[in-house]
Every structure is written in structure tokens, then in C-alpha cells.
């Protein structure tokens, strides 16, 4: 992983733009402010904050985000249209992402235009934005399906006109990590002067892997959203990218991860998209242990079956007694309830534990465990 050591990698979280763009998701202004404040306070350095072209309400929201005076840079999304960029400037931001469709499929079938037209759009929008002193990300919508030589042409225009970075968008979530690695590596090699950002989607379940592959290939910026909220199957989740970089790649971005669960639950509620309990990193039950061998291993030393400590993201370890439990887990659960059970006693309870789990199709709660304890005539139930 030496290719990553010492490199600066910057999260651009787009929960407030691509996240809110999920079908049916709407944040109130208060929710937007709270999400931005939390992202800022945990150390996220850039926040994509909406689309000024959507009108007065959105512009007022962006203005109130600017008024927070965050450390994070605020960057709205705009089309390559001077009026939209002007609307962004009026909101008080100092950066914009200028989005252009770059694949022939979209240029021909969506825009009914040509590559030449796209280049002209870029030149006029980028020229205007740089003249106004903005930091500019050039967003390549559908970069995955674009001719890479055309992307290079656009990046060369960006370089010549002072564009600050190119956003490589896997808009449809169709690449695999090897493909995105190859494409980003090639672009880095040919146009090293322009930073690259990767924007990945989860349609094939590869958003996190693709984001990390893009970073490993040389991207300095990465787009994320809290809980992976975003168009269709969503974006690369902030919490997964940060923890993946930290624990799979050995790169600590300096983000305060302890508040991930708090942030995740707030966004889940505000977006009305409840999280699956098994959601990686922040799901309620991703540190629950039931099966005999795993529970026993975790009791001996949590690192036996946990890749990182749950407290690192604000979760807690839970031992669960159920169909697959063994005696160690059962003894430990009783101990947590203040009841001492010997190994022999635990063995004598195991049949009933399994029967109860099978009948109820769930793990056993404290009341079940107390009832079982008493039913076999053991005393001292606390």
C-alpha cells in the first residue's frame, strides 16, 4: 500500500446533492445545516451543497450553509451554463462543479449534440468560472462509457484554462475496481497536472471498492455520501470509504470516525431511508456475535472476530444467544445479566436455547433466558 502513504486524499461528501437527489428524498433546511455541521466537525474537507439552478429555495439553503462559516469548502453542482455559475456565485460559494455529459451515448442520445459542442460548452463555462476566481471541478458525467481520448481532450482544456480537477463519474455504477483503476491511472499519466476525483455508484455493489481503486490509481478526491444515499442504488458510503482506507489500506484520513453512527442515524431519519441492521460499518448488528465459535473467540479476545473495534464508529459489541450459540456465549450473556452459570449448567440449557430460538425464529432476550434458567431449577436468578 506504499503508493498511498503520505498522499493527501480529500473527501468531497455529496449527501446534500447526490444524496438528496435519491428518488423521494428531501432534506429540510435545518437538516441540511445539521448534516453539514456534523460533516465539518468530523473533518470532512469538502461538501457538495446543492444545485443553485433549482431555484430560490435551494439558493437560500446554500446561502445559509455558506453563513455557517465552515472549515469545509462548499461546492455546488452546476451545468456548463454561465447563468447557473452566476447563480452559484450569488450564493457566496468559491467553488463549483461544472457537469458535462462526456460519453457519446449521452452526447448523442440525451443532448443531441456533438463532442465539439461539449468542448465549446466547457470552454465558455470554465472561462467564466475562472475569470470569477472560482475553484473549478470539471464533472465528467458518464465517464465510464466515454472514449478515454475524449476525456483526455477535456482534461487538457481544463489544464490550459486553469481547471482544478476532473471528476471521473461512474454515473451508472457499471465499472469494476480493475477497470476504474486502469482508466484513472491512464488519465493520471497523460494529464498529471489536473487532479482527479472519483464519483462512484453502487448499482453492482462496487461503489466502495471502485472509490478505493480510484484513489489507489491516483485520484486525490473522492465523492461519498452518508449511508451511501444517492441516485438508484446510491453512492460510495462515507463511512465505508473512510474505514476501508483506514483498515484495508492503512490510510487514516484524520476523520473523527466515532460519530459515524450518530451521523448515519441522523441521515437515515432525515432521508426516511432506514438502514439495514447489517449495513457495513454502521449497521446496528454488525458487531453482534451469536455462533458458538465466534462468540467464544470474541470473549477470549475481540480481535479474533472483529476487524476493528466497534467503538471506533460509535457502535457496541453485543453477544446474542440463539440457535447457533455455544456454552461460552451463553455463560457470558448470563454473566452480563448478573447470573453465574457453570459450564455444566450451560450445557444442560443448550437444548432449550435452541428449541426456543427455532420456535420463535429469533435470538433469546433477557426474559427468555431468565425463564429458561428458572425452568431447569437453577437458583439465584438475579
Applying CB under 5 A, the residues found at the interface with Zn ion are: 18
Query: Which residue number, 20 or 296, has a Cβ lying nearer to Zn ion?
Result: 20
CB 237 → Zn ion: shortest distance, Å?
13
CB 168 → Zn ion: shortest distance, Å?
12
- The residue whose Cβ lies closest to Zn ion is 18
Phi-psi region of 112 (alpha: psi -120 to 50; beta: other; left: phi over 0): left
Q: Which candidate, 231, 219, 238, places its Cα nearest to that of 177?
A: 219
Query: Which residue number, 19 or 52, has a Cβ lying nearer to Zn ion?
Result: 19
User: In whole angstroms, what is the distance from residue 310 CA to residue 295 CA?
Assistant: 15
Query: Which residue number, 97 or 239, has a Cβ lying nearer to Zn ion?
Result: 97
Query: Which residue number, 20 or 290, has a Cβ lying nearer to Zn ion?
Result: 20
- The DSSP letter of residue 17 is I
User: In whole angstroms, what is the distance from residue 169 CA to residue 164 CA?
Assistant: 16
CB 51 → Zn ion: shortest distance, Å?
12
CB 199 → Zn ion: shortest distance, Å?
6
CB 235 → Zn ion: shortest distance, Å?
6
Whether the CB-CB separation of 208 and 170 falls below 8 Å is answered with no
- The DSSP letter of residue 18 is I
Angle at CA 300, nearest 5°, toward 296 and 303? 100
Query: Which residue number, 105 or 381, has a Cβ lying nearer to Zn ion?
Result: 105
Q: Which candidate, 97, 58, 103, places its Cα nearest to that of 80?
A: 97
CB 351 → Zn ion: shortest distance, Å?
53
Query: Which residue number, 10 or 82, has a Cβ lying nearer to Zn ion?
Result: 10
Distances (CA, A) of 321 to 183, 259, 285, 350, 368: 48, 28, 13, 10, 10
Amino acid at each position: 500500500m506504499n503508493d498511498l502513504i503520505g498522499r493527501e486524499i480529500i473527501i468531497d461528501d455529496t449527501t446534500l446533492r447526490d444524496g438528496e437527489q435519491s428518488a423521494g428524498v428531501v432534506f429540510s433546511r435545518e437538516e441540511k445545516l445539521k448534516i453539514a455541521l456534523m460533516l465539518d466537525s468530523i473533518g470532512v474537507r469538502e461538501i457538495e451543497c446543492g444545485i443553485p439552478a433549482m431555484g430560490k429555495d435551494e439558493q437560500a439553503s446554500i446561502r445559509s450553509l455558506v453563513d455557517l462559516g465552515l472549515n469545509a469548502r462548499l461546492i455546488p453542482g452546476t451545468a456548463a451554463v454561465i447563468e447557473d455559475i452566476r447563480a452559484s456565485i450569488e450564493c457566496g460559494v468559491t467553488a463549483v462543479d461544472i457537469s458535462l455529459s462526456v460519453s457519446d451515448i449521452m452526447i448523442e442520445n440525451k443532448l443531441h449534440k456533438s463532442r465539439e459542442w461539449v468542448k465549446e460548452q466547457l470552454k465558455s463555462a470554465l472561462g467564466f468560472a475562472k475569470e470569477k476566481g472560482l475553484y473549478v471541478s470539471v464533472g465528467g458525467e458518464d465517464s465510464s462509457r466515454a472514449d478515454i481520448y475524449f476525456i483526455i481532450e477535456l482534461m487538457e482544456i481544463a489544464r490550459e484554462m486553469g481547471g482544478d480537477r476532473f471528476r471521473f463519474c461512474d454515473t451508472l455504477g457499471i465499472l469494476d475496481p480493475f477497470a476504474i483503476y486502469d482508466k484513472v491511472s491512464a488519465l493520471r499519466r497523460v494529464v498529471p497536472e489536473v487532479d482527479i476525483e472519483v464519483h462512484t455508484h453502487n448499482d453492482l455493489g462496487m461503489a466502495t471498492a471502485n472509490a478505493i481503486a480510484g484513489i489507489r490509481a491516483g485520484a486525490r478526491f473522492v465523492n461519498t455520501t452518508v449511508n451511501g444515499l444517492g441516485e438508484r442504488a446510491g453512492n460510495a458510503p462515507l463511512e465505508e470509504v473512510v474505514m476501508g482506507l483506514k483498515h484495508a489500506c492503512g490510510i487514516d484520513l484524520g476523520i473523527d470516525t466515532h460519530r459515524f453512527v450518530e451521523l448515519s442515524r441522523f441521515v437515515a431519519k432525515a432521508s426516511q431511508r432506514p438502514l439495514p441492521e447489517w449495513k457495513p460499518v454502521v449497521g446496528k448488528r454488525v458487531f453482534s456475535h451469536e455462533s458458538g465459535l465466534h462468540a467464544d473467540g470474541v470473549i477470549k479476545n475481540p480481535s479474533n472476530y472483529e476487524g476493528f473495534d466497534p467503538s471506533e464508529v460509535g457502535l457496541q459489541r453485543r453477544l446474542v444467544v440463539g440457535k447457533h450459540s455455544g456454552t461460552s456465549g451463553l455463560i457470558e450473556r448470563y454473566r452480563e445479566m448478573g447470573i453465574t452459570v457453570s459450564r455444566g449448567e450451560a450445557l444442560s440449557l443448550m437444548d432449550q436455547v435452541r428449541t426456543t430460538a427455532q420456535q420463535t425464529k429469533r435470538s433469546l432476550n433477557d426474559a427468555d433466558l431468565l425463564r429458561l434458567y428458572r425452568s431447569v431449577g437453577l437458583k439465584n436468578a438475579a
